[in-house]
A and B are shown apart, each in its own frame.
Chain A
Amino acid sequence: MSHEGTLLIIIALLPFVGALVPGVMIRAGRTACAWFTAVPTALALIMLLILAPDVMRGEVIQAELQWMPQLGLSASFFLDGLGLLFACMITGVGLLIILYARFYLSGDDPMGQFYTYLLLFQGAMLGIVLSDNILLLLIFWELTSLSSFLLIGYWKHLPEGRQGAKMALTVTGAGGLAMIAGMLILGNIVGSYNLTDILQAGDQIKASEWYLPALILILLGVFTKSAQFPFHFWLPHAMAAPTPVSAYLHSATMVKAGVFLMARMWPALAGTDAWFYIVATTGLITMVMGALIALFKDDLKALLAFSTVSHLGLLTMLLGFGTQAAAVAAVFHIINHLTFKAALFMTAGIIDHEAHTRDIKRLGGLRHLMPITFLIGTVAALSMAGIPLFNGFLSKEMMLEEASHTKWLDSYYVVPVLATFGALLSVAYSFRFISHVFLGPVRDDYPSNPHDPPAGMWLAPALLCTLVIVIGVAPFLADGIVRAAASAVTGAELDPHLKIWHGVTPALWMSIIAVLGGLVLLLLHRPLDKAWIATPRPEAKAIFDALIMSVVALMRRITDATHNGAISRYLAIFTVASVALGWIAYSGSGLSAPTRELLPVPIVIAVGWVMLVVATVSVVVMHHHRFRALVLIGIIGLSISAGFVYLSAPDLALTQISVETVTIMLLLLALHFLPKVTPAESSGAMRFRDGIIALAAGGGVGALAYAFLMRDIETISDYHIANSYEGGGGTNVVNVILVDFRGYDTFGEIIVLGIAGLVIYALMHALLDGPAARRLKNTDYTQDRSRDRHPLMMVVVTRVLMPIAVVVGIYIFLRGHNQPGGGFVAGLVIAIALLMQYMASGFAWTQERKKIEYHTMIGLGVVIAALTGVGSWLAGRPFLTSAYTYVHLPPIEEFELATAMLFDLGVFLTVLGAVMLMLYSLSRIARSAGETVNEAAMDYDPGEHVEDAKGGT
């Protein structure tokens, strides 16, 4: 990989690595925290600038890391003009936002969290604009939805914040799902998920019959993200976020992600009628409607939000035109909109921060009180209105120019007229922003005492305003980046020359009409506002909430019908479904004739089988008596273990016996606090139904096993047996399968086991507050308890057994790789040894003598297993490849050391921790039921007594 490629990967990773820092650095103070957030951002920006000259020359920098090649997913990045423009915007504005947020957030806000979220978001955004693989892009796309959810809901105490965050996540997340489908279709058409390949296969894509579905699905994702009609409604509600978030996400970056993707996909998707009518029309509607609503919003941020919706519509429309000139205009407007809109959001934030209100009707006359803010706000708003010498004017002219010769259906008027109307409304709300907030007389009823904020707060917007004027006066300065980006968008070599004066063109007239019309609208604002308020309008939030509510209600009905809390119903549904699927598979399979003979049944085995059947039937008959049922279950377990031994599966037998022992012990302990009899709840008909289901399932499984045993089938076992010693270094195939061939499964399973242990603990915690706890407290267990809780004989014997059991455990653990045994069984054996101690001397007494928390043990187990797996990466092998060697230490015979043993150690620790945590959970019930803690290990300790006697004499 080239030197530049490495830099690119570092740029993409920096924010994620950086996100680990602010949460820690907040302890060093708020300023230090801000600095440490700024460092990764600044580094990324600097690296981008290092790469910039190459990209501006037209080079494309690429870097690729294999991730999951089977899926076509690789962590590949590329940087072209468009990517560079966006990446610089993301990091550059990011820096300004970090500065601004340092002063904006109050002392009560958890700033470390904020900066962490911000960097996560930044990383996700950078990932989108740098991805060269559309699957990778989708991952980052969803990450922006998630991280923006955190940022919008940052003020968790505000219901608006929470609802806004939920709405944004729902809408953008749903769009993202649609986009995944679209992207997959696109990848299938082209046969590659690499963006660079897709961009070159534009003709192939447009010719495909799947073009339209893919286009619509991708556009759904784009339109939801970029708040296009009819999905625009989430953006104003997301304004409940802190203003730095609004300035960053909702003006500069996240909402532009949709626009970015349209620009990115432009060569592949644009240029067809479908593209033009869907994209340009949506953009046009959004632009006009957003501007119209913005004019009548009193909340400063809502005004800006709808204005953003409108400008995003403008960008969408330009990209929808599908011409190269329109693409240039779009790219240029992206830059311009970023500068003035971020500055305006920050201005709104300053006003809110100082005047304690964002309601335009309560503001006015601020130019005397906040001169600096006034200057910044006015410059930015004039640019938004599109007044000459500000940069907004330039791109708006280009937009109107493009609109003026665009034909929609057969009309040459629809687009220009509506575009002019949109521009007119834009002028009106921009002027309103200036005149109703800053101009007019000073009022005496502000909620607070407004004055200019400290420099830290106005520096960021001031810098952006400088850019507004510089680009506005000397647009040729932006030539380079616009050329690079626009060339990347269109895939053609473009050479635009940005200038202020284009001569007397239709666009100029449209502009003049817009400005004059905007002024008139502003003068008429008061009567128009009254009319607007009086007109009934659909409320997007109410519609959205109703929709969500109805979906929730529907889902609840389905869930309640299937999962009504009765475990018998879950099991019935699951079992019937499995049986039905099995039946379908069987009836369509055309099973071949059996190739084996039935073996003779030895008499001993037949007797054992009959006993097993009798025990099973007895459980069914007697299951209401729980102790009896438990004993019978124990018998079944032992019979099955004996069966395993007979069928030469000593590993399974060992595991079965130890699992059986542990379960029966824990169940016995649990049963002490449960009713001893299960009430008869099922009617006869239900029992009949359940009986049929059970017979069908049992018979089905039996038939399946029989069918397989009667045929010679090639299974993977042969491979395992052949490669166990060669590949895994162990002669015990079962163990090698567990720790090597299917090590990944085992790794997953121990995690599940650990989680199960923790969940039992957590559930028990909840249980101890509920009605079950009250029942426990009110039940008198004192009478059914023997007075000698910890008999001397039992205590002594368990102490004696302890070391023997531990030795057995270690022995089983060590031999596991080559002979029956292994970490799982060893964990259970040691757990049984410990369980005995707990039962003999009581939980609390024993608990005091243990040195390590069970939670820690589970964690350690998983971590050790994971580290063992990761270790094979260091040797350049896939995850969990085991290595082994033979060691000879003189006094003992040669023995084997395998990394699989370390993995097994992880399994061992997790099993032990999980079992002991379950025991701990049970003992908490006992304590809550009023069990007291004993101080001595046993009821009557002769040892102490001897000590006393000696001391006495």
Chain B
Amino acid sequence: MNFVAELLISVFLVISGIFGFVGSYGLIKLKDSLQRLHAPTKATTLGVGGVLIASMIYFYAKTGHLSIHELLITLFLFLTAPITANFIAKAYLARNVNGEDLPDSATTYGWSVYDDPPENMPEAKDV
């Protein structure tokens, strides 16, 4: 394996390690759930991403073939991490925030967590 590849792999591993550490530290340091959910979903996504890129380079340098497993993992990660964050936020809102304290939704119906979906779909604005 040539030096450039090794260097690249090391750089990405270090980057991912830093992001992973920041994410984990944030999980302890940040104050409440809404703040905390950023730590694992954002920082750690980048951390794992770094490992995946390092892994792709490693296998390319070693076998000469492009490994696509990592792309699949990335895809799953990109799909699941935001949804998880979204769900944690919704759960937090539903449990800890009173709907009446929130600003008005500026439509005829309320925020989705607190109000049933509208019976009749409102007019589309962009179509």
Contact = CB atoms under 8 A, between A and B. Distances in A.
Partners in one complex: yes
A171 to B, nearest CB: 65
A135 to B, nearest CB: 57
Given A788-B117, A939-B117, A945-B124, A794 B87 contact: yes
B79 A939 contact: no
A793 B83 contact: yes
Given A794-B87, A800-B79, A787 B117 contact: yes
A787 B113 contact: yes
B91 interface: yes
Interface of B: 72, 75-76, 79-80, 82-83, 86-87, 90-91, 94, 112-118, 121-124, 127
Nearest to A788: B112
A305 to B, nearest CB: 74
A786 B83 contact: no
A787 B116 contact: yes
Interface of A: 784, 786-788, 791, 793-794, 797, 800-801, 804, 939-942, 944-946, 948-950
A787 B124 contact: no
A786 B94 CA distance: 6
18 contacts: A786-B91, A786-B94, A787-B112, A787-B114, A787-B115, A788-B112, A788-B113, A788-B117, A791-B112, A793-B83, A800-B79, A939-B117, A944-B121, A945-B122, A945-B124, A946-B124, A949-B127, A950-B127
* B75, B86, B112: residue with the most chain A Cβ atoms closer than 10 Å: B112
Contact of B83 (A797, A939, A948): A797
A668 to B, nearest CB: 12
A946 B90 contact: no
What are the 5 tightest A-B residue pairs by CB atom distance, in nearest-first order?
Answer: A788-B112, A939-B117, A786-B94, A949-B124, A945-B121
Contacts of B83: 793-794, 797
B60 to A, nearest CB: 22
A355 B83 CA distance: 81
Contacts of A786: 90-91, 94, 113
A312 B17 CA distance: 91
A452 B3 CA distance: 111
Nearest to B112: A788
Given A948-B121, A949-B127, A797 B112 contact: no
A784 B94 CA distance: 8
Given A944-B121, A946-B127, 10 more contacts: A787-B116, A788-B113, A791-B86, A791-B87, A791-B90, A804-B76, A940-B117, A940-B118, A945-B122, A949-B124
Contacts of B75: 804
Contacts of B80: 797
Nearest to B116: A787
A401 B115 CA distance: 101
A627 to B, nearest CB: 12
Contacts of A801: 76, 79
Contact of A939 (B72, B82, B112): B112
A481 B94 CA distance: 90
A794 B88 CA distance: 12
Contacts of B76: 801, 804
A786 B93 CA distance: 9
A793 B117 contact: no
Contacts of A942: 124
Nearest to B127: A949
Contacts of B127: 946, 949-950
Contacts of A788: 90, 112-113, 117
A725 B72 CA distance: 31
Contacts of A784: 94
Nearest to B111: A787
Nearest to A792: B112
Contacts of B123: 949
A794 B86 CA distance: 9
Nearest to B93: A786
A631 to B, nearest CB: 13
A797 B90 contact: no
B117 to A, nearest CB: 4
* B86, B90, B127: residue with the most chain A Cβ atoms closer than 10 Å: B127
A271 B45 CA distance: 90
B119 to A, nearest CB: 11
Nearest to B79: A797
A793 B121 contact: no
A788 B91 CA distance: 11
B27 to A, nearest CB: 14
Contacts of A791: 86-87, 90, 112
Contacts of B114: 787
B112 A793 contact: no
A80 to B, nearest CB: 73
Contacts of A946: 124, 127
Nearest to B75: A804
A801 B83 CA distance: 12
A313 B89 CA distance: 86
Contacts of B79: 797, 800-801
Nearest to B80: A797
Nearest to B90: A786
Contacts of B116: 787
A616 B76 CA distance: 29
A793 B113 CA distance: 14
A743 B90 CA distance: 47
